[in-house]
Amino acid sequence: MAYKRILLKLSGEALMGERQYGIDPKRLAEYAEEIKKITDKGIEVAIVIGGGNIFRGVSGASNGMDRVQGDYMGMLATVINGLALQSALEDQGIITRLLTAIKMEQVAEPFIKRRAVRHLEKGRVVIFGGGTGNPYFTTDTAAVLRAIEIGADAILKGTRVDGIYTSDPEKDKDATKFESITYKDVMNRGLKVMDMTAFALSQENNLPIVVFDMNTKGNLEKLISGENIGTLVDK
């Protein structure tokens, strides 16, 4: 196996499936099936999900809402998504734990690094909700932070695009895909892999990032097995 412990980063928008907003149960079930394939192989899995399918703090702020208030609403949206994914994973027979950066004991455990690592060692899938617990930080940054804290081998960023391209492949038919790319090249080319805070944090800690298409069945399992799926960002 290419990796033993991974952090899977999913966007909130990915959970919408064919819908315009909210959560698509069909898409949730598909993701849960894909995750089960790798947990069955003994891979330790942690997950961070965005909240953009429910509420995005930045868009709230652009409409006149206080940015801090908006960001906290976005953090709560990630917990809602975490609960939904937790339920879908448990339907697959996977034991899970939802840990949040903001305390809400009736819903989830508070994030404690040692507890999170222990859950992973016991084969439980750990979902991190509530972002970093602080406004002005994205779930990308939360994903990198948690990955470093738990000692993950890599961040696997599941998107609807099969990797990193020279330009947006949905807008530019001449865009070409990178099989791998260095942190430095990503910065020099201005490619939007993650927001700059998250990217700088991953670069400083030599944490590899793999951007891949999560919506293609079997991709996650192939990636874990060492196949050349998506784009690897490394030093």
- Residue 182 labelled as part of a binding site: no
pLDDT, average across residues 147-176: 91
- Residue 72 labelled as part of a binding site: no
The Cα 26–Cα 43 span in angstroms is: 24
- Residue 138 labelled as part of a binding site: yes
What is the dihedral sign for C-alpha 128, 47, 52, 148? Answer: positive
The band of 182, judged by pLDDT with boundaries at 50, 70 and 90, is very high
pLDDT tens-digit readout, 34-66: 999 999 999 999 999 999 999 876 666 667 788
Question: Quick check: helix, strand or coil at residue 178?
Answer: strand
Q: What is the CATH number of the domain that holds 187?
A: 3.40.1160.10
pLDDT, average across residues 93-118: 97
- Residue 56 labelled as part of a binding site: yes
Domain span including residue 47: 5-234
- Residue 98 labelled as part of a binding site: no
The Cα 70–Cα 222 span in angstroms is: 38
- Residue 96 labelled as part of a binding site: no
| Pair of tokens at residue 31 | 């993701």
The dihedral over CA atoms of 102, 108, 113, 117, expressed in degrees to the nearest 10, equals -160
- Residue 197 labelled as part of a binding site: no
pLDDT of residue 208: 96
pLDDT, average across residues 195-218: 93
Considering its fold, how many domains does the chain have in total?
1
- Residue 36 labelled as part of a binding site: no
The pTM for the full model equals 0.93
pLDDT, average across residues 106-113: 96
- Residue 136 labelled as part of a binding site: yes
pLDDT of residue 107: 95
